[in-house]
Structure 1
Amino acid sequence: MLTSMVAALVMERPVVYQVDQDGLWMKVIRDLFEDFLLFFAPELHAHVDFSKSPDFLQQELFQEVADEKKGRRMADQIVKVKLTDGAEQWILVHIEVQSENEEDFAARMFKYFYRIYDTHEQKIVAFAIMTSLHKNTTSQDFRYDYFGTTLHYAYTISKIITYDKDELRRSEKLFSKIVLAAKLLHETKDEAKRRYVFKRRLMRSIVRNPEYSRTSVQAVFHFIDYLLRLPIDLEKKLANTMYSVLGKEKELMQLYDKDNASPTIVSAFERERIEGKKEERRKIALNLLKNELPIEMIMNVTELSLEEIQELQN
């Protein structure tokens, strides 16, 4: 009796997934940098020449600062772009996924700036994206004033908590869906069914929008899939739902990079492969039935069940 009760309690315990938010943000910013700028910095976006690919610089530029953070992981990007007037522009993007306020955050942002500037003497535009729903009161500027020596360094901070969910849903900007998913990460932490409904609705709306390129859709799906993890039963249910959506668009399915697709897309591809093979076996069985071969032989050749063959026979 006691063993049964313990087993029941273990089964009811929610599954805890470890989400690599830093890695996901790094990847999606790299994959969708143009969309990232369009959402968070539209004025700068208008001056960038995207006919020339952005250059993501080596992360070693952050190593000295990273060591001071005592092993804490960061999601940072330094991106070199060309402007429409031919000038070169460096863009520093820092993603902060921690929930607590940090007194030294503004000082760290200044250190990033001056170390990059001191080494490379490049103009730098700096962004900090706060992904937590914690009401972060972090300052968006660094001030130093000591016996007449003063310094003021300001940068742009965007806080996910400040964006309205309804406006994000209505927005046609692709990166609004990334921000929306980041908001729902915390809101649906202990509500698997609610998270499933949200993922299903969001994925369907994205894939049905003809304005989004297929490679961009794949990048968003990858972020959403790994950020908003689901229990296995709901993952399978979501994959079946997306198969029914994507199955109507065979050309769309073929455009996805199967080797780098999100888990939901991988499952949909597997479902498509299985269904395709099954359809081929049905065609073979029909031909064999027309030639009046024994049902047992047809079962052996096609690996279809007796019920499936009888259905075809009828």
Structure 2
Amino acid sequence: MTALIWENSTDYEVGNVDQDGLWKKVIGELFEDFLLYFAPDLHAQVDFSEKAEFLQQELFQQIIKDKKGRKITDQLVKVHLKDGEEKWVLVHVEVQSDNEPKFAKRMFQYFYRIFDKYDKEIIALAIMTSPHKSEFPTEFRYTYFGTKLNYAYNTYKIVDHSYEELEQSDKLFSKMILAIKYMHDTREDVDKRYTFKMKLMREVIKSKHYSWSEIKAVFYFIDYLLRLPEELSEKLYDKMSVIMKKEGNGMVQFESEGWSPTMEAIFTRIHEKGEKEGIEKGIEQGIKQNKVELVLGMVKEGIPIATITKIAGLDEEVIKKLVGWK
């Protein structure tokens, strides 16, 4: 069983971006990729042929007692290990950004509450999303008259990972980390954010490493995290629709339901352009085949359009265009 506790950033303005919700969604949809990126050693031990089971959130509320006033997303996930043994692995994950002096103590408190309740192995991972360098402790130490305690946990700081490193990685969550870095670096420059967003989406589209469902989850995260004003959004839709049609590896034929707003707009543009091109091609073909007079004559005689389509061998939309109907 894997317990995920995901805490949102609190030391900077994020506008209307629901990072808690975005992280919760992407972890749920890409849990295997999440472990591959942040906990590769654990990932190697999990049997992913057995579907991970996300349990009810309420089960974990008894463990985390000090949630009041804090933005925390928590989940319980049951996984199976390759050794076949009946045991749990509890993974404790937080996203922390402000310089909280008691952070290490709180990490330990979460640990012992989980351990006391379940008595299972726990892997603790703290993910720092702040764009600023910080001196967060990576362990909690306690000593009092000879009683000593030392609790250490894993940390991942986004600020410590360069653009070059992330861009060279094929792991899906490297794209999410890139999106966070782009968000930080473009808070005051929407044109730069537009360029970064299009670049990142294009890289994901061109890659042959990801499935459609994986791309859908990544794009949802990127789209909502890197929001753009309407004018630049429209520009992005137009540019990306061309890129998608050219480099999308058949994605334009994929069912567009459930995609993020940007992807839905791109699919709409591709389909509308395809319909327009089809009608224009049909008109051109009709003209070349000297069928215009034939069609106009049948329309004048009041022949039903369904019959005209069969006789002329043209689509109904093409016939409507030829005679000026809407």
TM beyond 0.5 = yes
Distance 1:305 1:184, change over 3 A: farther
Mapped to 1, the partners of 2:141 and 2:183 lie a distance apart of 34
**Residue type of the partner of 2:19?**
Q
Per the alignment, residue 164 of structure 1 pairs with 162
1:142 CA displacement? 1.8
**Residue type of the partner of 2:88?**
Q
1:288 CA displacement? 6.2
Per the alignment, residue 254 of structure 1 pairs with 253
Mapped to 2, the partners of 1:58 and 1:151 lie a distance apart of 33
Per the alignment, residue 292 of structure 2 pairs with 291
* TM-score for both structures, normalised by structure 1: 0.82
1:199-219 Cα deviation digits (max 9, x unpaired): 111111111111111211111
Contact 1:76 1:92 in 2 (8 A): no
| Greater alpha carbon shift after TM alignment, 147-156 vs 203-212 | 147-156
SS in 1 for 2:143: strand
What count of residue pairs does the alignment treat as equivalent? Answer: 289
Contact 1:75 1:94 in 2 (8 A): no
1:147 CA displacement? 2.7
Distance 1:109 1:96, change over 3 A: same
Distance 1:93 1:118, change over 3 A: closer
**Residue type of the partner of 1:96?**
V
**Residue type of the partner of 1:222?**
Y
| Greater alpha carbon shift after TM alignment, 201-210 vs 86-95 | 86-95
Mapped to 2, the partners of 1:192 and 1:264 lie a distance apart of 16
Mapped to 1, the partners of 2:318 and 2:203 lie a distance apart of 43
Contact 2:252 2:270 in 1 (8 A): no
SS in 2 for 1:260: coil
Contact 1:35 1:174 in 2 (8 A): yes
1:277 CA displacement? 3.0
Pick the aligned partner of 2:57 from 56, 59, 64. Answer: 59
Distance 1:199 1:155, change over 3 A: same
Per the alignment, residue 95 of structure 1 pairs with 94
Contact 1:199 1:224 in 2 (8 A): yes
1:238-261 Cα deviation digits (max 9, x unpaired): 1222211222347322335x2321
Mapped to 2, the partners of 1:103 and 1:156 lie a distance apart of 18
Pick the aligned partner of 2:70 from 72, 84, 101. Answer: 72
Q: Percent identity?
A: 47
Per the alignment, residue 310 of structure 2 pairs with none
Describe how 1:238-249 pairs up with structure 2 within 5 A: 238-248=236-246, 249=248
Contact 1:32 1:219 in 2 (8 A): yes
SS in 1 for 2:45: coil
Mapped to 1, the partners of 2:201 and 2:130 lie a distance apart of 22
1:111 CA displacement? 2.2
**Residue type of the partner of 2:55?**
L
1:267 CA displacement? 0.5
SS in 2 for 1:259: coil
Contact 2:92 2:122 in 1 (8 A): no
1:287 CA displacement? 6.5
SS in 2 for 1:36: helix
Mapped to 2, the partners of 1:157 and 1:26 lie a distance apart of 19
* TM-score for both structures, normalised by structure 2: 0.79
- Consecutive unaligned residues in structure 2, runs of 5 or more: 1-13, 301-315
Per the alignment, residue 176 of structure 2 pairs with 178
1:8-47 Cα deviation digits (max 9, x unpaired): xxxxxxxx84111111111112211222222222222211
| Greater alpha carbon shift after TM alignment, 165-174 vs 86-95 | 86-95
Q: Does 1:211 align with 2:209?
A: yes
Which one has a bigger Cα radius of gyration? Answer: 2
Contact 2:282 2:318 in 1 (8 A): no
1:301 CA displacement? 6.4
**Residue type of the partner of 2:90?**
I
1:124 CA displacement? 1.6
**Residue type of the partner of 1:92?**
V
Mapped to 1, the partners of 2:286 and 2:31 lie a distance apart of 55
1:66 CA displacement? 5.5
Per the alignment, residue 102 of structure 2 pairs with 104
CA RMSD of aligned residues (A): 2.9
Per the alignment, residue 13 of structure 1 pairs with none
Contact 2:64 2:110 in 1 (8 A): no
Q: Using CA pairs below 8 Å that are at least 6 residues apart, which structure has the higher relative contact order?
A: 2
Per the alignment, residue 130 of structure 2 pairs with 132
Pick the aligned partner of 1:19 from 1, 17, 30. Answer: 17
Mapped to 1, the partners of 2:154 and 2:194 lie a distance apart of 33
1:284 CA displacement? 5.3
Distance 1:65 1:48, change over 3 A: closer
SS in 2 for 1:35: helix
Contact 1:79 1:92 in 2 (8 A): no
Contact 1:204 1:245 in 2 (8 A): yes
Q: From the two aligned structures, give the one with the greater helix fraction.
A: 1
Mapped to 2, the partners of 1:304 and 1:250 lie a distance apart of 35
1:283 CA displacement? 4.9
